[in-house]
Amino acid sequence: MKEPAQKDVKDEGRKNESGYDRIIKYTGVFGGVQTLANLITVVKGKLVAHFIGPAGMGIAYAFNRTIDLVSKTTDLGISFSAVKTISESTADEARQRQLLIVRSWSLWLGIVGTVACFLLAPLFSRLSFDGDYSYTLSFQLLSLVVGCTSITSGERAIMKGTHLLRQLAANQIWVVLATLLIAAPVYMWLGMRGIVPVLVLTAISTMALTCWYSFRAWPYRVALFSKSVFHEGGYIVRLGINYTIAGFLGTGVLFFVSSYMMEHGTAEDVGFYSNAIVLSSYLSMLVLSAVETDFFPRLSVVNKDRIESNRLVNEQIEVLVLLIAPLILAFLLFLPIIIPLLLKRSFMPMLEVTQWAALALFFTALTRPMSFMSLSKGDSFTYLLQELFYDLFMAAAVVLGYRYGGVSWAGIGLFAAAVFDWLLNYAITSVRYGFRASGKVRLFAFVHLLLLVVAMVVFLFTQGWVTWAAGAFVLLISAAVSIHYLYKETNIFQNLAAKLRQLGQ
């Protein structure tokens, strides 16, 4: 007899929702969660900085960087690739089998990662702290974090693959709150001696909260010594390894660009460039955070149906363009206020590079859904090639821009790389998977890109009240266009009006 919780989960995952409404709903859910998480993270950062100071934050960063590297290496990418295999398994028996495989592999990889971190702790201490071996014990204790992270990643993949999206959103909120509630009192009590306990307790609480949500729907089962489970998990690993390599390439490019700027420029330039990336990433999280969480599992289910795959990708792009274009314009308009508010007025030289980084997000919205087509079909090598060509182009564009025009032109390099990424992905998905952009995608992209170009000209070549007035006018036009089409294609405004009427009664 099936457990009620499991039956409810399956029923919920199979309900039909209109494409636009579903995309907007989960974009709003995960965008809101991400916003709340960012706010809590800012509060935590200020508290941590107060209690352990810059030196303590530097040590914590070194620990986190090393542990994150070990976790991503030993994870073999199954935290992402497992989402595809679980999503494709719609029959109950097949899905249960996939859950068994993912959990068994996650536990084994967690054990391997923990042992590796423990044994390599002296090396990590020496490399992370300039030849100092005194942090060996700290890294040995932090090996627990690697194991917890592997189990957590596996359970999150299960929640994504089985469409436990509301539970996943709630879990993310509780995890961020737990991190704050652990870090503040421990750092207040122990100061810098609390760094390792905070990292370990945070990893354990994150794992516990994630497992609590996941185990309620899918009771925990593993088969650590089953040859068939080990063999069947090989496909997940092969798919995940290329995804992991792509991630390492991206990290390597960021490191190369920062090193080049440091060697041929100043530390301030690196600070301006890196903070521009961070600020623009906050904006992208509002809209793009649901792509991996909701869209990728749905695309994986229909990956063998070319027509349905094309429809899902086009729908996702249409909504992303309508949502992100007004947000980019608002961000560009208020950026002279945002930078001093979140950083300091001395960071205003990063204004132009941040503008170009934000503008690049428009092409990221056009590209991201297409880039998942290769992964949804299990063609991870094509995805790796896409990322490799993009990373090489971005490194060259940003470095050349910085060399000939400083940080501002480095931003133009970022924008050029985003355009190149879109062209590359469109060419590959068109030839290899038969993808064609819908008429709505072309219409929405043309209208909003034209408005963004007008706005960018205004922000670069005007000053004072002219900038504010013209920028606000373009923003209103963009918002009106997006609202008009969202009103036509969705029930979001009707549902909102109905809820408001209910509240008024």
Place of tokens 């060509």: 389
Give 135's DSSP letter: T
3-state secondary structure 144-205: HHHHHHHHHHHHHHHHHHCCCHHHHHHHHHHHHHHHHHHHHHHHHHHHHHHHHHHHHHHHHH
Give 295's DSSP letter: I
Residue 271: other Cβ atoms inside 10 A: 18
> In the structure encoding, which two tokens stand for residue 222, read together?
């593993």
> In the structure encoding, which two tokens stand for residue 299, read together?
């695309």
**3 state SS of 15:** coil
What average pLDDT does this structure show over 261-272? Answer: 81
What average pLDDT does this structure show over 323-334? Answer: 93
Give the lowest-confidence range in 49-58, 119-128, 158-167, 482-491. 49-58
For residue 229, give every residue at least 6 positions away whose Cβ sits within 8 Å of its Cβ, in sequence order, or none: 100, 101, 104, 105, 223
Tell whether the model's pLDDT for residue 325 goes beyond 50.
yes
Give tens-digit pLDDT for 122-158. 998 888 777 888 889 999 999 999 999 999 999 999 9
Tell whether the model's pLDDT for residue 13 goes beyond 50.
no
Tell whether the model's pLDDT for residue 12 goes beyond 50.
no
Give tens-digit pLDDT for 230-249. 888 888 888 888 888 888 88
What pLDDT is recorded for position 116?
93
> In the structure encoding, which two tokens stand for residue 170, read together?
């709630």
Tell whether the model's pLDDT for residue 343 goes beyond 60.
yes
Distance of CA 150 to the CA centre of its chain: 18
What average pLDDT does this structure show over 158-174? Answer: 88
Q: Are 394 and 413 in contact (CB under 8 A)?
A: yes
What average pLDDT does this structure show over 322-349? Answer: 88
| Cα separation, 253 vs 256, whole angstroms | 5
Query: pTM for this structure?
Result: 0.80
Angle ∠(492,493,496) on CA atoms, nearest 5: 85
Give the lowest-confidence range in 43-47, 233-237, 287-291, 318-322. 43-47
> In the structure encoding, which two tokens stand for residue 456, read together?
């960018």
| Cα separation, 233 vs 213, whole angstroms | 24
What pLDDT is recorded for position 210?
95
Place of tokens 């998990």: 233
Give tens-digit pLDDT for 365-420. 999 999 989 888 888 889 889 999 999 999 999 999 999 999 899 999 999 999 99
